[in-house]
Structure 1
Amino acid sequence: MTTVGFIGLGIMGGPMAGHLVKAGFDVVGYNRTAAKAQPLVEAGGRGAPSIADAVRDADIVAIMVPDSPDVRAVLAGEDGVFAHAKPGTLVIDFSSIRPDVTTELAEQARAAGFRLLDAPVSGGEAGAKNAALSIMVGGAAEDFAAARPVFDAVGKTVVHVGPNGAGQTVKAANQLIVASNIQALAEAVTFLRAYGVDLESALEVLGGGLAGSAVLNQKKGNMLSGEFPPGFRIELHHKDMGIVNSAAREAGVVLPVGALVAQLMASALAVGDGGLDHSALLRGVERLSGREGT
């Protein structure tokens, strides 16, 4: 039985680790908040008191943590994966971080005798719970092939997009598209409400035409109810918009819509909406329109 050390058991990592147990992997999980390992234990996995204990006997290490500094600490820190995992271990980083940091960490991994894939995901909490994530993978083709059973246990669309860093670059593009779509949907919802149109009917017919999208399908419920439980938090999408705009600047690429949406995301964070689902960009449009709470 292949042993997977899984670091990060939050909204995304927890369900993903559970799917690996169901697929027959021996999963040992670690989370800074120890209580978050309990669902994994109940599913048949094991909890570990430290990263070292989670990865020491692992054949594969999976990581799902919030940001570049977190991944760097988990991998290269004094108590991290490189210090405690077996040489030759395959490391799969499901986190969404800066492409340049991924490339740097992949070089460190190779120098330390490890193999690293950057494999950020899209699909949010629903995708994680339903094992229907889209996974964009950067790294060596042979490592991608070796990791395929893990990817198939947690995802639906799995594509090898190039060398290390390519997965994170594709994820940055994904976050640009998603944020722009959410903002456009939020503006359309506010516009429709201002004219008293039956919103549910309007979104139904819009979803059947060219305006239809996965964003509309997944986020219209939040916008109809005005409730925004976090499937993917604004504070994390704010981080991702920083990544895409920084990478675009380095490449000499102009992203006018991306720059604007990044500012609107920053505004939502500044007014205290950072812990809400990114569909709460609707609240920003309502505030700007003087229609908050309508």
Structure 2
Amino acid sequence: MTILTVEQQQRPAIHGSVALLGTGPMGAPIARNILAGGVPLALWNRTPDKARAIAGASLAASPAGAARDIVLTVLPDLPQVEALLAGDDGLLAGWQRAGTEQPILVIHGTVSPVAVAAFGEKCRTNWGVTVVDAPLSGGTIGAAEGRLSIMAGGPREAYERCVPLFGLYGTKVAWFGETGAGSTVKACNQIVVAATVTALAEAMALAAASGLDLAGVQSVLAGGLANSEVLVQKGQRLIDQDFDGGGSAKNQLKDLNFIAETAGASGVKLPLAGCLRGVFEKMIAAGDGDLDHTGIYRTIQG
């Protein structure tokens, strides 16, 4: 494993052209940070207006038009990435027309470690495309402030080509091995995130049922071992009962399903992750799947 900080990277030059596909809540601030770093950037989004709102980029009419040397995808799951490849408007056709040799496809979404390893091998064998899985941690706030943690897997040479680019929107960049390794680290991250979100929601439910001031309780938690980035970023949601937007419960369950798949492939039993999976399944069954995952508070309250 290699971990680099922005200071250690000393901002080396970025070699090759760059595109970003998917200008949603995470992709848009990442794109803005890349442009702020002086790097020319091509954008494509299924809803063009979202890409058009990002000043300074060139807009592509199709994934083929965004086929650059390094293509960053910031999409919900692997099927959305796979859908970008085929057809006259797909990335493969675009790379072929441009004569691009050994393009790098970066997957920033949270995907199955098992599936992305297989996808990376398919891309390498069939089309000469190198896949780097590089999921993100830090949320939309971290993306906007350029302080994401990026955990990567893939061929070392391809990863090192991406490091200067990653440094424009991340403050910690770590390489863990071949394609799929980054997503396995993200699975570990998501166990902690899901557990912390749920634990904080349970604490607030107990405090509310006991007639306590939630802001005061959170202030005490923040001063001790119970403090966390989840509390910093999400605590106010629980006070305000505002669960709109943010990281959805559906995505949290998707991550927990990937964790179960990876644990099964590794022969590891994860009782807490299994319990969390059941709680989020209950939340989604109640119709709250589009809420921020802190909305698990509503499920706990019954």
Q: TM-score, normalised by structure 1?
A: 0.92
- Asked whether the 8 Å contact 2:66–2:94 carries over to 1, the reply is no
Aligned partner (choices 82, 98, 105) of residue 92 of structure 2: 82
Cα deviation, 1:146-189, whole Å, max 9, x if unaligned, reads 10111101111111111111001111111111001111110000
Does 2:53 align with 1:53? no
Q: Determine helix, strand or coil for the equivalent of 1:162.
A: coil
- The higher relative CO (CA closer than 8 Å, separation ≥ 6) is in 2
Does 2:73 align with 1:63? yes
Structure 2: gaps of 5 or more residues:
1-13
Match of 1:198 in 2: 213
Match of 1:261 in 2: 276
- Asked whether the 8 Å contact 1:229–1:276 carries over to 2, the reply is yes
Give the letter for the 1:26 counterpart: P
Structure 1: gaps of 5 or more residues:
288-294
- Asked whether the 8 Å contact 1:126–1:231 carries over to 2, the reply is no
Match of 2:262 in 1: 247
CA distance in 2, matches of 1:269, 1:74: 29
In structure 2, relative to structure 1, the CA distance for the partners of 1:76 and 1:94 (3 Å cut) is farther
Match of 1:26 in 2: 40
Trace 1:204-215 onto structure 2 (pairs within 5 A): 204-215=219-230
Aligned partner (choices 148, 162, 181) of residue 177 of structure 2: 162
Give the letter for the 1:64 counterpart: V
Give the letter for the 2:34 counterpart: L
CA distance in 1, matches of 2:235, 2:301: 15
- Asked whether the 8 Å contact 2:133–2:180 carries over to 1, the reply is yes
CA distance in 2, matches of 1:278, 1:99: 22
CA distance in 2, matches of 1:65, 1:194: 39
- Asked whether the 8 Å contact 2:52–2:59 carries over to 1, the reply is yes
How many Å apart are 1:10 and its aligned residue?
A: 0.6
Match of 2:52 in 1: 38
Say how many residue pairs are matched: 283
Match of 1:292 in 2: none
- Asked whether the 8 Å contact 1:82–1:109 carries over to 2, the reply is no
Q: Determine helix, strand or coil for the equivalent of 1:260.
A: helix
In structure 2, relative to structure 1, the CA distance for the partners of 1:204 and 1:272 (3 Å cut) is same
CA distance in 2, matches of 1:98, 1:232: 18
Match of 1:270 in 2: 285
How many Å apart are 1:77 and its aligned residue?
A: 6.2
Cα deviation, 1:216-258, whole Å, max 9, x if unaligned, reads 1111011111102322111111111111012112222111111
Q: TM-score, normalised by structure 2?
A: 0.89
Aligned partner (choices 153, 164, 169) of residue 138 of structure 1: 153
Compute the RMSD of aligned alpha carbons. Answer: 1.5
- Asked whether the 8 Å contact 2:65–2:89 carries over to 1, the reply is no
Aligned partner (choices 173, 178, 192) of residue 193 of structure 2: 178
CA distance in 2, matches of 1:185, 1:97: 26
| Percent of aligned pairs sharing the same letter | 37
Runs ≥4 residues deviating over 6 A: none
Q: Determine helix, strand or coil for the equivalent of 2:212.
A: coil
